[in-house]
Amino acid sequence: MGELLLRMEGISKAFPGVQALKDVSLNVYAGEAMALLGENGAGKSTLMKVMTGIYTRDEGTITYGGREVAFRNSRDAAEQGISIIHQELNLIPHMKIYENIFLGREIKNGRGGLNKKAMIARTRELLDSINVSLDPEREIKGLSIAMQQMVEIAKALSLDARIIIMDEPTGALPDEEVDSLFRIVRDLKQKGKGIVYITHRLKEVFEICERATVFRDGQYIDEVPVSELDNEKLVSMMVGRKLTDQFPYVDPLDTDETILQVENLSNEYVKDISFVLKKGHILGVAGLAGAGRTELAKTIYGVYPHETGKIRLKGSDVEIRNPNDAIGKGIFYVSEDRKGDGVILGSDVKTNMTISSLSKFTSGTRINKKKENEVCEQYRKDLNVRTPSLRQLVRNLSGGNQQKVVIAKALMSEPDVLILDEPTRGIDVGAKKEIYILANRLKQEGKAILLISSEMPEVLGISDEILVMHEGRIKGTLTREEATQEKIMSIIMSQS
Amino acid sequence: MNTKKLSEIWAKYRPVLIMIVFIIVAECLSRKFLTVNNIMNVLNQTSMNAILALALTTVILTGGIDISVGSTLAFSGAAAAWLLRAGHSTVLAVIVALVIGVAIGTLNGIFISRWNLQPMIVTLATMSIFRGTTYLLTTGSPISVSNPAFKMIGGGKLFGTIQVPIIILLVLAVIMHYVLNNTPFGRHIYSIGGNEEAAYLSGVNTKNVKAAAYAISGLLASVVGIIMTSRLSSAQPLAGQSYEMDAIAAAVIGGTSLRGGQGKVVFSIVGALIIGMLNNILTLLDVSTYYQTVIKGIVILIAVMIDAKSN
């Protein structure tokens, strides 16, 4: 066992309405890679942000280099030897490799200007030390993802990193480049660095990691040497959780009426997608981050064009060129990124609710504000949106109430098909349940719902049928009765 | 409780309150300030900038900018003068000028919305293009206008006291206020400035709405072109140069956010009035125009500082 470099103990972190981490621990050992495992939302990224000072912890201690530490920010952490390599790389495309490596801490010459020579030479040394032959004066633009990762690693080394955190480093990497990444990781371990390796691909854990720490729902489950693990044991550690009343289920409508039918849909993001969505049913879509679920939704919604395939609504072929088209034809997409493209934060509740259905309130050119108010008031009561008034800015509402505003917006357009993409992301447990009950009610009222979620218990809890997506394809379909987390995971893992 | 109410009123009507304070101070500084004659004079002089402020506010609300309005007004004004000199009627000259304004605005809009180009760059280019075509049309020297009917637009008075441009401004302000606050189109403008992606996913035809905003901006600029040509009895090749800056300043002083989604056309007019009154009081006080320019800059800075603090 390597020397203990860093120890996190009893870490807790809460966000408004969400307990993201509860009493979790993590150890990082010199010369070893520690896998950090858990489903989406288990708290892995939050823990890494706590470690590197992006978030401040509510409770717990971090011991590093023999003393308790609290980094002010990720730069502070990096300067003290803890570097994080994010999934979305933080390099500036139009700048050269050496410029990126020394960004913000450039080597200067005697007159206060840049000492390019020294920076280039040092960059070459760093790249050589990990056996990467790249010209330090090349621009980042045009480098493969793997090569960009090497630059990030070189940057970490330039800061004399002792611990390097890799957040899903193979997520965007073509298979043939994975080997060269692993070579570097082994090399770093040999140099005595401690690695924290976050991944969804279990086979990589067996290939490159010495130990694994497993998380579930923000809680620490266990730290185990990889030699004592197998695939099955890992999966059950990751998902072993019971479904409770948190997921109320109601039977679907007793009808076979197809509302939405997708046939062989393909484009840049999704391949050969076919499925049927029935009236009064909830069809769940499970998969890992990056499986192409959101892209599928946005393709149906007309955001992305499709190259081949057909979309049929209530039996007739439809051409959907943009969201406006989709809404007009009875499809509404509730976005996964509520703050980013779901709500208009700087506008009030009423404006957000009616933006998709203004024509219903308009006679001639004029919006009938009285009628608008009445309808919004009705939706506010109906969906139990907790806001002091309809004029309140959406920015000031909680996540759960923001989501209800978005759903109100969707329902006002009177859709037949409702696509809910991560409808409960980042909202508290109570509000989640309200959303499930609402989805069930809509289902009973005859809406057809496509439910995309990374939270497996959620998909399992309220879907009538489940599609499992991976790498842009549907890898399997499970009925409610046969679906379990283990089955979904094994479908996903089977071909990757 | 009372302070809370006061701060709410301050937040809601800030530009108007600033203007009232300004008027009181100005009146204390010069007894000539608050006379009917002087106020009409200020309104008349401010009307062109105020109309351009309507144009800029519409575009800025979408999160964009239009710096081509100065060239647009010059070219459409020159076209009107050119037609009048050739013996055509006032009606035709006005219509052609307006059509040119809409056309230039639509052109801006198409480049910005369909080609996804940056508004600043597109309108910088068209600013240059239409300043150039104005030089070509005027061959670099003023085209004088003698048509009496046309001259009424900029120089005429209603009821013997209110200049026609003030009436035009009022009518346009009412229309734009209505459009932005009471129609779906107006909501769409605000929603695009608030969060374009969310607006798109909510079914707003973001491309057409953005293009329309620039078309409106072009149209309003051409109205100013007509007024100016009429008032000066000639079309000047350099007409309206850097007018876009005063219009942007008016919008900003009126509390319009350059990030889009927040602002009110009425307040932008108040912003234009504040600039107009500032120039007026400084002139009444015999401050040199050189200082006036400096002071105007300082006022803009103070306005945005108050804005940043309040938000």
Indicate the DSSP class of residue A139: B
Query: Residue type at A436?
Result: Y
| B60 found inside a domain | yes
Check CB contact under 8 Å for B195 and A365: no
Residue A208, C-beta contacts closer than 8 angstroms, at least 6 positions apart: A33, A182, A185, A186, A197
The C-alpha of B195 sits at a distance from chain A's nearest C-alpha, in angstroms, of: 5
Q: Chain B contacts of A356, Cβ < 8 Å?
A: 202-203
pTM of the model: 0.79
The residue-averaged pLDDT of B253-267 equals 92
Distance CA A456, CA A454 (A): 6
Domain ranges of chain A: 4-239, 258-494
The residue-averaged pLDDT of B113-123 equals 96
pLDDT beyond 60 at B1: no
Residue A39, C-beta contacts closer than 8 angstroms, at least 6 positions apart: A216, A238, A239, A454, A455, A456
| B281 found inside a domain | yes
Residue from B177, B180, B190, B202 to probe the interface with A (highest A Cβ count within 10 Å): B202
Indicate the DSSP class of residue A114: B
User: Which residue from B183, B188, B201 is facing A335, i.e. has the nearest CB?
Assistant: B201
Contact A28, A6 (CB under 8 A): yes
A 410-429 → B contacts, CB under 8 A: 413
pLDDT beyond 80 at B308: no
User: Which residue from B190, B198, B203 is facing A343, i.e. has the nearest CB?
Assistant: B198
Nearest CA in chain B to A359: B184
pLDDT at A466: 96
**CA nearest B145: which of B155, B135, B158?**
B155
The C-alpha of B189 sits at a distance from chain A's nearest C-alpha, in angstroms, of: 11
Q: Does B199 touch chain A (CB under 8 A)?
A: yes
Complete DSSP assignment for A444-473? HTT-EEEEE-S-HHHHHHH-SEEEEEETTE
User: Which residue from B182, B183, B199 is facing A355, i.e. has the nearest CB?
Assistant: B199
The residue-averaged pLDDT of B250-257 equals 92
Instruction: Kindly report which listed range (B7-11, B53-57, B279-283) carries the lowest average pLDDT score.
Output: B7-11
The torsion angles phi and psi of A462, rounded to 5 degrees, stand at -125, 0
- Residue corresponding to tokens 């800059």: B297
Contact B50, B250 (CB under 8 A): yes
Distance CA A225, CA A209 (A): 9
For chain A, how many helices (H) and strands (E)? 16, 22
- Take residue B294 and report the two structure tokens written for it: 């400096």
Query: Residue type at B95?
Result: I
pLDDT at A215: 86
Task: Name B32's bridge partners.
Answer: none
pLDDT at A105: 85
Check CB contact under 8 Å for A344 and B194: yes
| B12 found inside a domain | no
Query: Residue type at B128?
Result: S
| B18 found inside a domain | no
The C-alpha of A344 sits at a distance from chain B's nearest C-alpha, in angstroms, of: 5
Q: Is A258-494 in the same CATH topology as A4-239?
A: yes
Q: Does A341 touch chain B (CB under 8 A)?
A: yes
Distance CA B233, CA B46 (A): 18
Which CATH number fits the domain that encloses residue B73? Answer: 1.10.3470
Residue B45, C-beta contacts closer than 8 angstroms, at least 6 positions apart: B276, B279, B280
Q: Does A345 touch chain B (CB under 8 A)?
A: yes
The C-alpha of B88 sits at a distance from chain A's nearest C-alpha, in angstroms, of: 35
pLDDT at A212: 94
| B21 found inside a domain | no
Print pLDDT tens along chain A (496 aa): 688 999 999 999 987 666 789 999 999 999 999 999 887 667 888 899 999 998 999 999 999 988 999 999 888 998 899 999 887 778 898 999 999 999 888 888 888 889 999 999 999 999 988 888 899 999 998 888 888 888 999 999 898 899 999 988 887 677 777 888 898 899 999 999 999 999 877 888 999 999 999 988 788 989 999 999 887 788 778 776 544 567 888 899 988 899 999 999 999 999 999 999 999 999 999 988 778 999 999 999 999 999 999 999 999 999 999 999 999 999 999 999 888 899 999 999 999 999 999 999 998 999 999 999 999 999 999 999 988 899 999 988 888 899 999 999 999 999 999 999 999 887 766 778 889 999 999 999 999 999 999 888 889 999 999 999 998 999 999 999 999 988 998 898 875 4
ipTM of the complex: 0.87
**CA nearest A277: which of A416, A394, A422, A138?**
A416
pLDDT at A243: 43
Residues A85-99 have pLDDT tens digits of 887 778 898 999 999
Q: Chain B contacts of A369, Cβ < 8 Å?
A: 182
pLDDT at A492: 86
Pairs of CB atoms within 8 A across A/B: 77
Residue B107, C-beta contacts closer than 8 angstroms, at least 6 positions apart: B126
Task: Name A478's bridge partners.
Answer: A466
| B207 found inside a domain | yes
Complete DSSP assignment for A216-254? ETTEEEEEEEGGG--HHHHHHHHH-----TTS---PPPS
Check CB contact under 8 Å for B203 and A345: no
Contact B98, B76 (CB under 8 A): yes
pLDDT at B145: 94
Residue B156 pLDDT class (50, 70, 90 cuts): confident
Residue A473, C-beta contacts closer than 8 angstroms, at least 6 positions apart: A270, A271, A272, A273, A292
- Residue corresponding to tokens 């004004």: B77
CA–CA distance from A298 to each of A411, A414, B280 (Å)? 18, 19, 56
The residue-averaged pLDDT of B285-290 equals 90
Residue A270, C-beta contacts closer than 8 angstroms, at least 6 positions apart: A292, A295, A296, A299, A472, A473
pLDDT at B138: 95
Domain count across chain B: 1
| B6 found inside a domain | no
pLDDT at A242: 46
Q: Which CATH superfamily is domain A4-239 in?
A: P-loop containing nucleotide triphosphate hydrolases (3.40.50.300)
Q: What is the CATH number of domain A258-494?
A: 3.40.50.300
Q: Does A302 touch chain B (CB under 8 A)?
A: no
pLDDT at B304: 82
